[in-house]
Every structure is written in C-alpha cells, then in structure tokens.
Structure 1
C-alpha cells in the first residue's frame, strides 16, 4: 500500500472516479442517465403540482404520495447532478464535508421512503379492511405525524454514520471508485479498523428496513384476507386496483435496493463496474417510474393531469 499523509479530521478532498473501467463510455452513459433524471424531475413535479392544486386530491393517499414524490426528488438530486459532472467534466473532486452531506441525504432519504411506503400500506389496509373508520383514523394530523416519524427515524438512524466516518483517519487525497458518496464506500478508504462501521452500516439501517418490509407484508396479508371475503367480484377487482399502484412502487423500491446492498456486501464475484451501474440505476429508476405508475394506474390523477395540461378550461377533447 503506498504511503500517504493521514489526518484524523478527514481529508481535504475526495475524488469520485465515476465508473472504473468504463471511463471512455462516461459521455454515452450520461445520456440515458441525464434523460431519466430530467424525466423524473418532470414527472414528480407534475405529480406534486396536480396534488397541490386539486382540492379533491387532498386526501391521505395522495398526501402520502406527494411525500414520496418529494423524497424521490431529494434522492435523485442528491446524487445525479454530481454524477453528471463527473461524466461530462471529470469534476470528481468533492470536499470531505460535502461527501458526508451527500452520504447523509442519500441514506436518510432511502430510510424515509421506506417509512412512507409503510404508511401507504397502512392507508390501504384501513381503506379496505375498515373503510367506515377511514376518515376518522387517517386524519390530516395523522398524516403529518407519519411524515414527522419518517424524518425523525431516518435522522436518528443515519446521523451516527456521519460520526463513525468522521472519527476515521484518511489519506490526504482519496479516490472513491464510485459516482457518489455512500457510507461503506467512504469507510473502506480509511486507514483504520472499520468493523464498527460495517456492523452499524449493515445491521441497524438494514434491520430498520427489514422491519418496514415485514410490516408491509403483514398489511397485505390482512388486505388479501379481507379481499377474499368480499362477496362481489367487482368489489374485489376495484380493491385490487387500489392496491396495484402501491405494490408496483414497493417492488420498484425494495427489489433493486436489496439486490444492490446484498451484491455490494456479498457478491464479490460480480465486476465492480456492474455494482456501480446498479447503484446509479437505483437512484434513478424509482424516481422515474413512481409518478408513471401512479399516473397510469390511478384514475383520479390521470384525469387531473389531463384537465390541467392536456385539456385546460375552455377546451374539450375531441369526441
């Protein structure tokens, strides 16, 4: 290992290398990534605008959906602009403080989205299993509290990662073989024992996400049991449709996330550039596809988008 000047206060700068081994393709890779990012900004922006301006959408499900859209925007904007700067201008230099900030908001947003998806599962559970009490249980104050819980839990889980990294000594200039800063990617550059980082970074956030997944699964088991008790096939079909969008979003969020985390930790035979590509797609695909899923599958949102952007007041769609 080459000698380096160590500092206990963290290096002056890190250098994001992009996708190692694919440097000649950075420009070409940036084209679909930039397109997906712009589409994610547009889709989530339209979704937020429609929910904000249409009073008929000021309901628990759509308020939770707006929280998810905000989280998606934060997730992609935290990582993609710097990623594109690396691809286009080789501007990979990033200060230690900026790297920690990016790492914090990346993991913080991921944890917050998991709580929001859990709240959305609870919303569907109450709507289907106890519809008469829906408005009494899911009041605006309850939705606000759910948002606060998502922020508080994520903050408490991710903040220790910042201090666990700040205590480590690094070389004066360290190269991160990635397009953005994440906890274990930074920790592995330290010239010290990182067993605490590995234990905390894998056990605590992962355990919290697993708890969310288990609770979501329990909610949907109860929902399915309630659906099978419905006497009408039409009622069952309508109830399935109300859950379909949420199930699609859950799969888009958790499957790539678990695959990325597990292959990063245990899939050592997978080439490193594949890990990086998967990690980049993870911060782009959910923000890109979530508004599409809800826009296509949710009739109320589809109608409001058509009304606001395609067929404004004073104009009618042709017969």
Structure 2
C-alpha cells in the first residue's frame, strides 16, 4: 500500500429490522428480527481495512452511547480517527427495513456525523479521499469536503443523489478520480436505463483519466474510462442480505487501487467481495483478502 483511504463521510448506528414486506401508508408490520450494528461509512472502511488498506475516519462522532460504540468498533477494526468528539450531540441512527427479497429501505436520523468541525486533514498524494452523497446534501459539510486538498477523490453519491445541489455536484465531479454508484443512481444521474450507456455518459462528465463505475448488483459492474466501457461480471451466490453490498464494493475497489491494482482487476475483486458480503446478514460483512483471493482465482 502506498496511500491511505481517508473517509470523510458518516458513521452511524444501523437499526436493521427484517420485515415480511414494507408497511403500507398508515399501516404497521411486525419485524421478524431487530439488530443494531455500527454502519454507514463504517461499512466502506471495514471493507477497505479487511482488504489490507490503511484507513482513516475523518467524519464526526458524538457524545453518548452511540458515539462510544462507534469509537470502539473503529478501534477494533484498526481504523484511525482524525476528529475530536463532537460535544452536545450523539451519533445518528439509520433504520434499515430489510424485506423478504433481501432488498433494503432506509430512514436516516442524522447526528454528530454530519457536524462541521475542524478542517478535514489534507490528503497525501497517494491517498484516496472517500466522499459520500450524504455529505454533499449538507451545504456546510460539502464545502468542507471540497476544501480538502491533495490526493484523489472516490465519490459515491448514494441514495440521495437527486438531492445534491447541482453546483456542488458539478464542483465535486470536477475533482473526482473515481465515481462509483449503483444502476438506480446512474439512471437518476443520466436518465439512461442501460448501465453501459449510463457509465459511458458519467465517464464523459469526469476529468480525463477518471473512472466511472456503475454497480449492477448480482451482474457485477460496468467500468468506463477514456472512452472505453467494460462489463465486469461477478460470481453467483445465494443472497441473504444486500445491505452494505455497495459499501463492500467501494471499500475493496479503493483498497485495490491503493495497492496499484489495474482498474478492471480491482473491479473484478470488488465484485467478488460484494458477492461474498451479500451471503451474510448485516451491513459490515465484507470479506477478508484471503476469502476474496480464494474466490477470484
């Protein structure tokens, strides 16, 4: 590894409720199970750390029981903190409704992770700074992220992609080295249902040599760079829980780039990591390097 993954986004507590189906408006359903995890940005960082990357969390973490739990899990994963504790507010919560098909729906209550505290650390030339769409929808946080100097940016717009201010989004793309999104998000950004065409258009909006990755679930992903578009297939698995699959993909892809891995090989390994992750219940289920290498042979 020649650089670090510096995550500028949000670590929250995920309250995961497995339900037979989403409730109708005004209705209710009984959860089959309810479990709390440390999630959000933790999923990406844990994936990168398990892949062997040196990882720094540059986001906020609060005062209270949830903040304490976040710090404990970050320490256990050997992830370094760069910010002090945010006073007077605890870390936020994301309610995850996981239905019988393995798909998930989110409701997020923000906390200290979105607070704008001390300036973000400057990136070293070999570092990758991870930028989440959850940061970009908070104007003050977005400005803080865009003021960060050095390194390369990997941007994952996430489910709130349509809520990002167009000016902030344009300024973000101008600094993006890797744009990674799922096929739904790619369609929202380009109005193109075909992920190959969406990837091609997204790459055209990025600086020269930048990479656009469109994650296509069990099919794998599409990688576009310098006018070339390549479909990178995944492996077949039995899906248990898709929560955190995109995070596993992003974390592994970043870790491979930090190792100097070719972009297409990095995408192939990220596909395998995401496939293994969905065979396990919970958000931070990315595999270790040995597990991915065993499947990627």
Query: Which TM-score bucket, shorter chain as reference?
Result: under 0.3
TM-score (norm 2): 0.25
Higher RCO (CA-CA < 8 Å; seq separation 6+):
1
Greater strand proportion: 2
**Higher-Rg member (1/2):** 1
Greater helix proportion: 1
TM-score (norm 1): 0.23
